[in-house]
Amino acid sequence: MELFNSESKKIVSDPINVNNPISLQVLGICSALAVTIRLDQAIIMTLAVVFVLCSSNVILSLIRNYIPSRVRIVIMLSVIASLVSVVDELLKAYLYDMSKQLSVFVGLIITNCIIMGRAEAFALKHGPSKAFLDGLGNSMGYGLIIIIVSFFRELFGAGTITLPDGGAGYVLWSIPESWYAAGYENIGLLVLSPGAFIILGLVIWIQREFAGVEEDA
């Protein structure tokens, strides 16, 4: 099979745009609301989800013909849970501050519907290379949305843009003191969960407008 033919491209690009797991299928909302307070958290979370989803898709696709269908959900869950635990342990070892901030939400990747959903809907029916591309597309579709949401939440909510580094985050840019002196204020609501709903709602609206999606009435 050719890796970069148009079908493969479609497997990757579809979930990023026209069939985005968050904005179209409205999956994985829990973590999308919880870890989007700061950009650096969203970026690390994206990397974690890319790793878990790609690996789980490939592993499950490789053993798909051997899995007894009666226990397939249990097998999927064990594979996903193990991968998430590995990520959690690695974060605690190499990015301790980040793992403290992400706290339970790394563990909750296990219950992220996107991962189980792709395993059941795609990985068990396709070969490993396609499953990998599907995992890549979906996790990047997820990541794209949470990175956009966290960018706006952090910028307007806390007045900073933070990139991940080994420690507590590298502040790339923050709103200058002179703006605050001139009367500018951060929007406190955006730091709270309702703020995430509002931004996410706007992102979904704009994204569906661009993708040309129409909901059945």
Partner 1 sequence: MHSNNYTLFFVFIVTVVLGTMLSFTKDSVKDLQDQNLKADVQKTILRSLNFDESLLLTNESIEETFKISIDAKCVNVEGEIVDCNIEEVDIEKNENILPIYIRMDNDEVQGIALPIAGKGLWSTIFGYIALNPDTDSVLGIQFYKHGETPGLGGEVEKKWFTDNFVNHPLKLPNGEIQYIPKKIRDKSGKIVSIKVVKGGVDYSESNTSSIHQVDGISGATVTADGVTDFLLEDLLRYEKTLDKIRDYGTI
Shorter beta-carbon distance to partner 1: residue 127 or 167? 167
Q: Is 62 in the site for partner 1 (CB under 8 A)?
A: no
121 DSSP 8-state letter: I
How far is it, in rounded angstroms, from Cα 51 to Cα 205? 28
Residue 215 vs residues 10, 12, 24, 209, 212: alpha-carbon distances, Å: 22, 23, 10, 11, 10
- Min CB(25)–partner 1 separation in Å: 25
- Min CB(141)–partner 1 separation in Å: 25
Report the residue from 24, 27, 34, 39 that binds partner 1 according to the rule CB under 8 A. 34
- Min CB(115)–partner 1 separation in Å: 16
Instruction: Pick out residues in 155-184 that bind partner 1 (CB under 8 A).
Output: 166-168
Report the residue from 3, 62, 92, 172 that binds partner 1 according to the rule CB under 8 A. 92
> Rg for the chain (alpha carbons), in Å?
19
How far is it, in rounded angstroms, from Cα 89 to Cα 100? 12
Shorter beta-carbon distance to partner 1: residue 29 or 67? 67
Residue 11 vs residues 6, 23, 77: alpha-carbon distances, Å: 9, 17, 23
Report the residue from 16, 43, 79, 204 that binds partner 1 according to the rule CB under 8 A. 79
- Min CB(12)–partner 1 separation in Å: 27
Q: Is 197 in the site for partner 1 (CB under 8 A)?
A: no
Q: Is 78 in the site for partner 1 (CB under 8 A)?
A: yes
Q: Is 4 in the site for partner 1 (CB under 8 A)?
A: no
**Are 134 and 11 a contacting pair, CB within 8 Å?**
yes
Interface segment toward partner 1; rule CB under 8 A; list 39-47, 75-83, 132-140, 207-215: 75-83
3-state secondary structure of 32: helix
* The token pair that represents 30 in the structure block: 């829990």
Report the residue from 42, 52, 75, 124 that binds partner 1 according to the rule CB under 8 A. 75
How many binding residues for partner 1 (CB under 8 A)? 27
**Are 67 and 125 a contacting pair, CB within 8 Å?**
no
Degrees, nearest 5: CA angle 14-201-121: 35
- Min CB(69)–partner 1 separation in Å: 8
Instruction: Please count the other Cβ atoms lying within 10 Å of the Cβ belonging to residue 194.
Output: 11
For partner 1, the binding residues (CB under 8 A) are: 34, 66-71, 74-75, 78-79, 82, 85-86, 89-90, 92-94, 96, 100, 103-104, 166-168, 193
